[in-house]
Amino acid sequence: MATGDVKLLGSCASPFVLRVKIALNIKSINYEFIQENVNNKSELLLKSNPIHKKIPVLFHGDNNPICESIIIVEYINDVWSTIGPSILPSNPHDRSLARFWAAYIDNKLFAAFRELKNSKWVEAIEGVVNKIVEGFLVLEDVFIKCSKGKQFFGGETIGLIDIALGSGLPWFKVLERMSNKKLLDETKMPNIVAWADNFCQDPLVKGDLPDVEKLFELYTTMFMVKEQVAVLETKYSPSNSIDG
């Protein structure tokens, strides 16, 4: 497909934009990436997503813009259903479960992370970390049931749950560094830890993963001062960590 037929408006740092990139990679779709400055939103974004004014936005030919990451991923899967592996299971029940757990990931893990933007994060970070770890522990059991012994939630290939959760892995590593606490503990969630490694090393994912160090610098610049990181590193020593 010609690159000009598909365009993606987003930011390289966004986990939600990463979801769309991975879906396009799975379907081998060439696309033009349009970098958006989320701190100075463009007219294109405001016009294309006037309700939420958020990235990502997908443009496909003459169709109206498509918004919301999971909706875009499903659109990609439906439009290019004959290209590459399916991102959603063919069985209706399994498909509904994939959608349920993708929503859980957004409402549990990503919602917890967003709490840091709207609070005094030094005081809030321990609660946020605990919520995310709780979510990972739940997903440990979900992985065992969904993967059926394979390397991904989707089985042999990356599926909707993998995309929903895996897109946040770089940012979860940033949170580990901020809090000096381990979110992914191989003793408590060995399957999720192994899955995370497989996901990040997959060729369809690896090239689009943002650099954790750059994300850390971005977060400390946008939402906090670096001196607070030192406070956390002192307050939350390894002896006080979740796995301790």
pLDDT tens by residue, 91-139: 999 999 999 999 999 999 999 988 876 556 666 788 899 999 999 999 9
Same domain, 210 and 111: yes
In which element (H, E) is residue 57 found? strand 57-60
- For residues 108 and 131, the answer to whether their CB atoms sit within 8 Å is yes
- For residues 158 and 214, the answer to whether their CB atoms sit within 8 Å is no
Same domain, 60 and 180: no
Domain count, the chain: 2
Same domain, 71 and 24: yes
Given a cut of 50, whether residue 163 has pLDDT beyond it is yes
Same domain, 48 and 97: no
- For residues 99 and 153, the answer to whether their CB atoms sit within 8 Å is no
Cα–chain center distance at 2: 27
Given a cut of 80, whether residue 228 has pLDDT beyond it is no
3-state secondary structure of 80: coil
Mean pLDDT of 222-236: 50
Same domain, 8 and 36: yes
The per-residue pLDDT of the chain, averaged, comes to 88
Structural domain range at position 40: 3-79
Same domain, 70 and 137: no
Residue 68 backbone dihedrals phi, psi, to 5 degrees: 75, 120
pTM (predicted TM-score): 0.89
